[in-house]
């Protein structure tokens, strides 16, 4: 599902009147029975719990875990886009491991679009246009170089629709919660996106918080249970993810990726 469509679904479920925009978070004050969040413009909100789901550059994390700043990931750059599949035949989803620590591929979405991605570890800082930088790297992908479907997808994408990111990581944190504040998603565990583990973990975070935080319930106990569940799982994901990232050959990459995917799905099914 395209992320914009997912956001629409979530906004409709929550109620758009419940979403406040243009209100940057500044700081929070934690008390025995509540937490107060302060926003730009001088407004405040009092609540039972504050969930910092504000991404890799989290302002909530900066206060909860001082010094745990986001950092660059080994010159890891990524180029990606979602485009309509009009005029292009995409018969399968594909991931390709190439030379010079480059990887790429494409995935069909439910609504007739195609998501493509190309990334490179240890890459020099880009100097050209986003499209040209992606096309320069597609030559490193065995079997999906110039003239390939991935190259065609990149060429068919308008320059302004291509996203380029220097990948950033959140270092392993000593804790994710206090009595009334919790981190979730990328604010707690921003990871390299080459196996989409970060998105999966973020969804799991939200689901577990939804189960544990009940009206009138014990918030500190719920957040402690959340942390006890999530931190060991994140540590295991990080270990398996590192094996995928550092696989020396396409064959080892495939083996590590399958091992990760099997554990990620089977472990929750049998839990």
Q: Could you report the per-residue pLDDT of 154-188, keeping only the tens digit for each? A: 999 999 999 999 989 999 999 999 999 999 999 99
Tokens 């799905």 sit on residue: 265
Averaged confidence pLDDT in the chain: 89
Residues in CB range of 95: below 8 A, 6 or more apart: 103, 104, 105, 257
Q: Are 230 and 208 in contact (CB under 8 A)?
A: yes
**Digit-coded pLDDT (tens) for 81-106:** 999 987 888 999 988 888 888 888 99
How many angstroms separate the Cα of 87 from the Cα of each of 16, 80, 113, 135?
36, 19, 11, 20
Helices (H), 27-143: 59-64, 130-138
pLDDT of residue 146: 58
- Torsion angle (degrees, nearest 10) of CA 183, 186, 192, 193: 140
Q: Is the pLDDT of residue 27 over 90?
A: yes
Return the higher-pLDDT residue of 226 and 244: 226
Encoded tokens for 205: 């975070």
Angle at CA 88, nearest 5°, toward 119 and 167?
15
pTM surpassing 0.75?
Answer: yes
Q: Is the pLDDT of residue 221 over 90?
A: yes
Q: Is the pLDDT of residue 267 over 70?
A: no
User: Of the ranges 125-134, 183-192, 241-250, which one carries the lowest mean pLDDT score?
Assistant: 241-250
Residues in CB range of 132: below 8 A, 6 or more apart: none
pLDDT of residue 262: 84
The b/e string for 26-44 (b: 16+ C-beta within 10 A; e otherwise) is eebeeeeeebebeeeeeee
CA 52 – CA 114 distance, rounded (Å): 31
Band (143; pLDDT cuts 50, 70, 90): low
């Amino acid at each position: 599902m395209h992320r914009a469509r997912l956001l629409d679904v979530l906004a409709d479920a929550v109620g758009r009147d419940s979403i406040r925009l243009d209100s940057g978070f500044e700081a929070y004050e934690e008390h025995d029975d509540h937490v107060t969040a302060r926003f730009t413009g001088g407004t405040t909100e009092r609540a039972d719990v504050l969930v910092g789901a504000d991404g890799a550059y989290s302002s909530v994390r900066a206060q909860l875990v001082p010094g745990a700043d986001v950092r660059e990931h080994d010159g890891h750059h990524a180029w990606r886009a979602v485009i309509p599949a009009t005029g292009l035949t995409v018969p399968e989803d594909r991931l390709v491991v190439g030379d010079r620590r480059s990887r790429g591929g494409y995935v069909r979405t439910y609504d007739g679009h195609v998501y493509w991605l190309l990334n490179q570890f240890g890459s020099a800082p880009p100097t050209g246009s986003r499209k040209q930088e992606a096309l320069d790297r597609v030559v490193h992908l065995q079997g999906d170089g110039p003239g390939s479907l991935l190259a065609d997808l990149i060429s068919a994408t308008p320059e302004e629709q291509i996203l380029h990111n220097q990948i950033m990581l959140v270092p392993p944190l000593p804790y994710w919660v206090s009595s009334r504040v919790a981190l979730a998603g990328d604010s707690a565990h921003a990871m390299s996106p080459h196996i989409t583990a970060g998105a999966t973990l973020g969804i799991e975070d939200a689901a577990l918080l939804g189960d544990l935080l009940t009206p009138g319930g014990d918030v500190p106990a719920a957040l402690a249970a959340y942390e006890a569940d999530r931190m060991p799982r994140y540590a295991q994901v990080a270990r398996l993810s590192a094996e995928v990232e550092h696989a020396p050959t396409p064959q080892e990459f495939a083996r590590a990726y399958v091992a990760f995917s099997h554990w990620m799905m089977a472990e929750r099914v049998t839990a």
